Structure 1
Amino acid sequence: MTAEFHKANRQRLYAEMKDGSAVVFFSGSAPRQSADAYYTFFTNRNFLYLTGIKFAGLVLVATKIGGNVQESIYILPPDLMKERWTGRRPKADEVIAQSGITDIRFVENFENDIHRVLNSGNVQRVYLDLYRHTPDEGLDEAHRFAQTIKTGYPFLTVENILPILKRLRTLKAPCEIDAMRRAMTVTREGILRMMRASHPGMYEYEYKAEFDYALTGAGVLEPAFHSIISAGENNFCIHYDSYMGQAKDGDMILNDVGAQWDGECNDVSRGWPCNGKYSKEQRMLYECALNTSNYMFSIIKPGMLMDDVDKTARRYCCEQLKKIGLLSSYDEIGKYMWHGGAHHVGYDVHDVVDALGKPIAPNMVFCVDIGIYAEDLGIGFRVEDNCLVTPTGAENLSASVPRTIEDIEAVMAK
């Protein structure tokens, strides 16, 4: 992504901030894995959206006073000994080139600088990224800083900036869509490798190795999310992550995977029999899911409500399942469809957007995710594709990933 893209994102954000306010974003830090090791660092998605910088320990600060915006990025100072052990730190010229922000300071000055701003009398409100998935999650830097403000500056209002960012991230810029397309070429290759290698007796971790090889070979060092690859009865755990199962002859392989490019994610699911040939029951169920997905892509268009995508998918799939005798009424759909039929995708694989109860619009990207789980038949899988809303309808960004029974069997026969 270019500096112009990130600068435009910040300008739209600043336009929605109230005058007499400051906003602070933290890039985040990697959690500790063991005594002296850390997990791979994953940049805060909103910080990345606004700056394009993928380093830990950085802070973005902006003030809006009298209509004028001043912005700074705080970076870690050079430290030869630490950089020998944990890698180089970003240089000021790199940060300027990537973000378009020219005021670069060292993070050791952040505390004094921000307290000077908050004591100036010109700021009445502080915006922070206060996202929490569940109430019992540990407090991140933004939440800890919010507590500092509330304790030390009770006369200031602390406001969550996330609702504004959700609106900004809902519609994708052309460069974001281009990045998703580039990621899809990598995702496709990874899925093809798994299909071609598939055979009875193959372990789930071997499937994962095939997918990871394709990503690494393309320079994608981390997938868009924790890959879900399972066989047989493990398919009935929706977010399975063990990889230790072994495919028995006739087992379905479920994969829910994606590459990322420039921070933009893919999320694609396919299901196939490990032996390369769908049984009668597998074929019937897969056709139900595929027909539902195809129908959804034929009707999705601007103006349709996101809520209706899921409802329509469930009702259409119900009719498909009724035709093959698995259901008699819609009241039973929960037996076979365990999750929603759509979710947004972008900088997060389950993207943080403002779409609930609102009409679909061009340049939205979301997944059409049709999952069928027939425990009584031992068959579970998903057909999940990435949908770009166009001015007149929808484009399947993952259409190049084999999805029909004929195409999948042909790939596996090679």
Structure 2
Amino acid sequence: MKREFYIENRKELYRNLEPGSLLIMFSGHAPIKTNDENYPFFTNRNFLYLTGVEQENTILMAVVGDSGAKETLYILPPDAHAERWNGRRIKVDEAEAISGIQDYKFLNEFRDDLSKELFAWDRERVYLDFDRVYEKEPGKEAYELGRYIKEHAPFLKLENVYPKLRTQRTIKKSCEIEAMKKAETITKAGIEAMMKASKPGMYEYQYKAEFDYALAQHGVLSPGFPSIISAGDNNFCIHYYGYKGQAKDGDMILNDVGAVWDYEINDVSRAWPCNGKFSERQKLLYQCAYNTSEYMFKTLKPGVPLMEVDNMIRKYNFEQLKEAGVCKNFDEIGTYMWHGGAHHVGFDVHDAVDGRGLAVPGVVFCVDIGIYHEEWGIGFRLEDNCLITENGCENLSRAIPRTIEEIEAFMGK
């Protein structure tokens, strides 16, 4: 992304904050994994969305005024010894080139500046990113600072900026959509590599190796989220990460994968028989999922309530399964559809957006049809990325083989 993207993201946010308020955002830090080993660092997505800076222990502080904001980015100071061990730290000119922020200080100055700003005569409120999803999830820096402010500056009102950022991230800018389309081409290469290599006796970790290798050839060193790749009975675990199963002749290969480009993630699921030839029962169920997907891409357009998309998928897929003789009553649909049929994608694979309104141009979400028939031993999902356009929608992942005929022809079995 260009620096203008991050500059505009901050300006848009400032316009929605009260003048005289203080905004503080944290990049986060890598938690301890065991003993003296940390997990790899993963930048807080809201911080990244506003700055583009990928470095732990970095803080954005902005004093919001009537016509903009005074911004300061606090970065780690140069430290030759620490950098020798843990890698080079970002320099001021580099951070400015990425983010467009012009005022920089080192991290050890943050506390003094914070005290001055908290007790400024015109300060009324502080915005922090309270992004915890689950009650028992460990609180991060924003929560620690929130407790500090309650104790030392109880006259200030604490506000959660997270809902405002969710709303802002709902509609993708044109550069985000272009990045998603680039990510789709890389995901296509990875899925096709797995299809070409597929054969009975192949282990799940070998499929994963094919996918990871294809991504690396395009400069993507890590997928947008942990890949779900399974065979046979393992397909009946929704979030499966074992990779140790072996495909038996006739098994379906399920994969739920996605590359990332310029921080934009895509999420695609394809399924195929490991031997390259669908059985009659596999064809029957796969066609139900495919017909449902095609129906959704013909139906989705501006004005559709986003909260209704999942229900639309379930109802139409039920009719397909009923016609195929699998289901008799809608009450049975939960036996074969185990998860939701739609979620937003973007900087997160389950993107932090406001999904309560109507579909509008620039919204991107997955159309995810999963069918799991345990009695027949067939479980899979067909998932594509839907971009709402001015007059309808676009399937961003359509180029990845998805019909029975396309899959069998591509696999050449």
TM-score of the two chains, using structure 1 as the length reference: 0.98
Q: Is the 1:65–1:123 contact (alpha carbons within 8 Å) kept by the matching residues of 2?
A: no
What CA distance in whole angstroms lies between the structure 2 residues aligned with 1:43 and 1:260? Answer: 14
Cα shift at 1:387? 0.4
- Tell me, what secondary structure is at the counterpart of 1:377? coil
Counterpart of 1:192 in structure 2 is 192
What CA distance in whole angstroms lies between the structure 2 residues aligned with 1:407 and 1:68? Answer: 53
Quick one: which amino acid aligns to residue 359 of structure 2?
Answer: I
Whether 1:117 aligns to 2:117 is yes
- Tell me, what secondary structure is at the counterpart of 1:388? strand
Counterpart of 1:407 in structure 2 is 406
What CA distance in whole angstroms lies between the structure 1 residues aligned with 2:209 and 2:38? Answer: 23
- Tell me, what secondary structure is at the counterpart of 1:43? coil
Counterpart of 2:362 in structure 1 is 363
- Tell me, what secondary structure is at the counterpart of 1:72? strand
Cα shift at 1:66? 5.1
Cα shift at 1:412? 1.2
What CA distance in whole angstroms lies between the structure 2 residues aligned with 1:321 and 1:7? Answer: 49
What CA distance in whole angstroms lies between the structure 1 residues aligned with 2:350 and 2:66? Answer: 37
Quick one: which amino acid aligns to residue 49 of structure 2?
Answer: Y
Identity, % of aligned pairs? 57
What CA distance in whole angstroms lies between the structure 2 residues aligned with 1:151 and 1:241? Answer: 43
Cα shift at 1:119? 1.2
User: What's the CA shift string for 1:189-215, capped at 9, x where partnerless?
Assistant: 000000001111111111111111011
Quick one: which amino acid aligns to residue 396 of structure 2?
Answer: L
Cα shift at 1:68? 4.8
User: What's the CA shift string for 1:145-177, capped at 9, x where partnerless?
Assistant: 111111111111111101110111000000000
Question: For residues 183-332 of structure 1, what are the structure 2 equivalents within 5 Å?
Answer: 183-332=183-332
What CA distance in whole angstroms lies between the structure 2 residues aligned with 1:363 and 1:77? Answer: 39
Please, which moves more after superposition, 404-413 or 97-106? Answer: 404-413
What CA distance in whole angstroms lies between the structure 2 residues aligned with 1:141 and 1:33? Answer: 18
Q: Is the 1:65–1:122 contact (alpha carbons within 8 Å) kept by the matching residues of 2?
A: no
Q: Go from structure 1 to structure 2 and tell me whether the alpha carbon gap of 1:66 and 1:327 turns closer, same or farther (over 3 Å shift).
A: closer
Quick one: which amino acid aligns to residue 70 of structure 1?
Answer: K
- Tell me, what secondary structure is at the counterpart of 2:253? strand
Question: For residues 38-187 of structure 1, what are the structure 2 equivalents within 5 Å?
Answer: 38-65=38-65, 67-187=67-187
Cα shift at 1:261? 0.5
Q: Is the 1:13–1:165 contact (alpha carbons within 8 Å) kept by the matching residues of 2?
A: yes
Cα shift at 1:65? 3.8
Q: Which runs of 5+ in 1 are unaligned?
A: none
Q: How many residues align?
A: 413
Q: Which runs of 5+ in 2 are unaligned?
A: none
Counterpart of 2:16 in structure 1 is 16
Cα shift at 1:90? 0.3
What CA distance in whole angstroms lies between the structure 2 residues aligned with 1:313 and 1:327? Answer: 15
Q: Is the 2:362–2:389 contact (alpha carbons within 8 Å) kept by the matching residues of 1?
A: yes
User: What's the CA shift string for 1:297-351, capped at 9, x where partnerless?
Assistant: 0000000101221111111100100111111111111110111111110000000
Deviation >3 Å, runs of 4+:
65-68
What CA distance in whole angstroms lies between the structure 1 residues aligned with 2:298 and 2:15? Answer: 37
Q: Is the 1:28–1:56 contact (alpha carbons within 8 Å) kept by the matching residues of 2?
A: yes
Quick one: which amino acid aligns to residue 9 of structure 1?
Answer: N
- Tell me, what secondary structure is at the counterpart of 2:380? strand
Q: Is the 2:11–2:68 contact (alpha carbons within 8 Å) kept by the matching residues of 1?
A: no
Quick one: which amino acid aligns to residue 395 of structure 2?
Answer: N
What CA distance in whole angstroms lies between the structure 2 residues aligned with 1:224 and 1:66? Answer: 38
Quick one: which amino acid aligns to residue 397 of structure 2?
Answer: S
Cα shift at 1:120? 1.4
Please, which moves more after superposition, 37-46 or 390-399? Answer: 37-46
Counterpart of 2:7 in structure 1 is 7
